[in-house]
């Protein structure tokens, strides 16, 4: 990020977050809380390094909890269950089976297959879509799928916050894996989302080592922000410790050992339920409340998470906020990108919200790539488009289209 000062980067992130929330809102009214979130983003003075949870890591408490988890694993997995040693990862993610997520899902699955063929790709040994829906959908025969019973059946067609069902769906998946450990192919479970692109393979240090689990630090998750203190204290009472314990993260991209997922899942579900039943909490935490629920659950369970911003993030980058892969292997396209000519003409644009219809899921159209690079372009917020940023976005579109080719070649489209 050497080409941008921290101030302009923050401005960009705040700007992009408007688009992010606008997209999530899909036409709903949210301006009041949006303002609060922009303030949160603008007030951020954090820096990477250790997360709050890491700084607060209490070896004694972890060992105590770890004993509980180990007992669970011995009963559920262990020698006769899922693997508990090694560097391999099992990838999972949730979906409600809407055309919007299914288009993204097929593209992502294609890029996963590409990354699997790269050197090191053999460490990605499991892949499960957790479908929270009343029935299987068109992707079920084509993508490895676990069907979870939805808390909100109306989300099959439409609902305003489908991710409220995510923690419960993950817990159902874990319960099923405890009953049938062969569902889990690796010691590490890596939760991702459908709007991710695999640019390279992923693996973890040996699970039997003391390596910490990995999560992503989100700039717009601010557990210590003063205006949400009251709400955060309902979720994480003073008796638990300072709010700084709560890592600014979410369930994805998050890679933890199975024992840690088993510990966190019931908490994550319970905190989500607590928020959904509390109008004040829902309003204050808004569209990212399920991410806050996960963050609070991680703090309550005292799970140490290794979190670094790009370029040190080993999980993802989020173009156009990040202009280089750094150590990451995934790209997350939650924000769109616009390239404008210096005269103001829009030259090119990509946004995931252009691909929401059943015909997109069924026909899997390719994404028009950007025109050849020229100096002087600007992004949607007026910031320049330096060559490295162009290259990252062009690579993302190229990879997505290559993923579409794989899906079609394998007859999965």
Ligand X SMILES: *[C@@H]1O[C@H](CO)[C@@H](O)[C@H](O)[C@H]1NC(C)=O
* Residues of this chain, 251-270, that bind ligand X according to CB under 6 A: none
Q: Report the alpha-carbon angle 302-303-307, nearest 5.
A: 125
Q: How far is the CB of 346 from ligand X (least distance, A)?
A: 10
Parallel, antiparallel or unpaired: strands 254-257 and 188-191:
antiparallel
Answer whether the bond into residue 65 is a cis peptide, omega within 30°: no
Q: Output 357 or 374, the one with its CB closest to ligand X.
A: 374
> Across the chain, how many H-helices and E-strands are there?
12, 12
* Token code pair at residue 406: 């794989």
Q: Output 226 or 382, the one with its CB closest to ligand X.
A: 382
CA distance linking residue 343 with residue 357, whole number of Å = 33
What CA–CA distances, in Å, run from 100 to 72, 164, 191, 196, 232?
Answer: 37, 17, 19, 13, 32
What CA–CA distances, in Å, run from 221 to 129, 384, 394?
Answer: 26, 26, 28
Q: Output 80 or 343, the one with its CB closest to ligand X.
A: 343
Q: How far is the CB of 345 from ligand X (least distance, A)?
A: 4
Q: Output 341 or 408, the one with its CB closest to ligand X.
A: 341
Q: Output 35 or 346, the one with its CB closest to ligand X.
A: 346
- Number of amino acids touching ligand X (CB under 6 A): 3
Rg over CA atoms, the chain = 21
Q: How far is the CB of 380 from ligand X (least distance, A)?
A: 17
Q: How far is the CB of 343 from ligand X (least distance, A)?
A: 4
Spell out, one character per residue from 326 to 345, where the chain touches ligand X: x when CB under 6 A holds, - when not: ---------------x-x-x
Handedness of CA 333, 335, 339, 345 (dihedral sign): positive
What CA–CA distances, in Å, run from 314 to 214, 242, 350?
Answer: 8, 28, 25
What CA–CA distances, in Å, run from 282 to 145, 154, 177, 186, 276?
Answer: 30, 19, 31, 35, 6
Q: How far is the CB of 374 from ligand X (least distance, A)?
A: 9
Q: Output 59 or 376, the one with its CB closest to ligand X.
A: 376
Which residue in 53, 63, 65, 116 sits closest to 89, CA to CA? 116
Which residue's CB atom is positioned nearest to ligand X? 343
Q: Output 119 or 344, the one with its CB closest to ligand X.
A: 344
Q: Output 6 or 376, the one with its CB closest to ligand X.
A: 376
Which residue in 318, 332, 397, 391 sits closest to 365, CA to CA? 397
Q: How far is the CB of 381 from ligand X (least distance, A)?
A: 19
User: Does residue 412 contact residue 107 with C-beta atoms inside 8 Å?
Assistant: no
Q: How far is CA 88 from the centre of its chain?
A: 19
* Residues of this chain, 86-145, that bind ligand X according to CB under 6 A: none
Q: How far is the CB of 337 from ligand X (least distance, A)?
A: 18
10 is a site residue for ligand X (CB under 6 A): no
DSSP state of 43: T
Q: Output 65 or 341, the one with its CB closest to ligand X.
A: 341
* Token code pair at residue 154: 């109306």
Q: How far is the CB of 347 from ligand X (least distance, A)?
A: 7
Q: How far is the CB of 377 from ligand X (least distance, A)?
A: 10
Q: Output 8 or 378, the one with its CB closest to ligand X.
A: 378
Q: How far is the CB of 398 from ligand X (least distance, A)?
A: 23
Task: Identify the three-state secondary structure at position 283.
Answer: helix
Which spans in 150-278 are helix H?
166-179, 229-235, 258-276
Q: Output 210 or 345, the one with its CB closest to ligand X.
A: 345
Q: How far is the CB of 55 from ligand X (least distance, A)?
A: 51
* Token code pair at residue 73: 């694993």
Interaction site with ligand X (CB under 6 A): 341, 343, 345
């Amino acid at each position: 990020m050497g080409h941008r000062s921290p101030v302009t980067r923050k401005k960009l992130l705040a700007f992009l977050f408007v688009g992010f929330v606008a997209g999530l809102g899909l036409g709903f009214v949210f301006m009041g809380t949006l303002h609060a979130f922009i303030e949160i983003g603008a007030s951020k003075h954090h820096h990477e390094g250790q997360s709050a949870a890491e700084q607060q890591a209490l070896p004694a408490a972890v060992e105590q909890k770890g004993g509980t988890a180990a007992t669970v694993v011995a009963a559920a997995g262990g020698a006769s269950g899922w693997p508990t040693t090694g560097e391999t990862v099992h990838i999972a993610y949730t979906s409600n089976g809407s055309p919007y997520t299914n288009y993204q899902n097929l593209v992502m699955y294609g890029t996963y297959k590409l990354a699997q063929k790269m050197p090191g790709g053999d460490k990605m040994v499991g892949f499960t879509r957790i479908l929270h829906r009343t029935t299987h959908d068109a992707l079920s025969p084509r993508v490895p799928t676990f069907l979870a019973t939805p808390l909100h059946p109306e989300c099959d067609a439409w609902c305003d916050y489908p991710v409220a069902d995510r923690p419960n769906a993950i817990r159902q998946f874990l319960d099923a894996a405890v009953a049938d450990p062969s569902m889990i192919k690796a010691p590490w479970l890596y939760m991702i989302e459908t709007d991710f692109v695999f640019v390279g393979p992923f693996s973890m240090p040996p699970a039997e080592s003391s390596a910490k689990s990995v999560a992503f630090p989100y700039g717009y998750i601010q557990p210590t922000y003063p205006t949400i203190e009251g709400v955060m204290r309902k979720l994480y009472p003073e008796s638990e410790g300072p709010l700084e314990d709560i890592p600014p993260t979410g369930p994805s991209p998050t890679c933890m050992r199975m024992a840690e997922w088993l510990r966190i899942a019931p908490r994550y579900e319970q905190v989500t339920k607590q928020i959904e039943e509390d109008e004040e909490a829902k309003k204050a935490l808004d569209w990212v409340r399920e991410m806050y629920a996960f963050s609070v659950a991680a703090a309550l369970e005292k799970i140490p998470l290794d979190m670094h911003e790009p370029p040190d993030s080993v999980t993802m980058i989020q173009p156009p906020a990040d202009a280089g892969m750094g150590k990451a292997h995934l790209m997350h396209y939650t924000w769109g990108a616009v390239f404008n000519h210096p005269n103001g003409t829009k030259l090119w644009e990509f946004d995931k919200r252009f691909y929401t219809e059943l015909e997109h899921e069924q026909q899997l159209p390719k994404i028009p790539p950007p025109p050849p690079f020229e100096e002087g372009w600007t992004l949607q917020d007026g910031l320049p488009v330096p060559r490295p940023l162009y290259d990252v976005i062009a690579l993302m579109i190229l990879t997505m289209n290559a993923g579409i080719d794989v899906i079609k070649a394998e007859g999965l489209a």
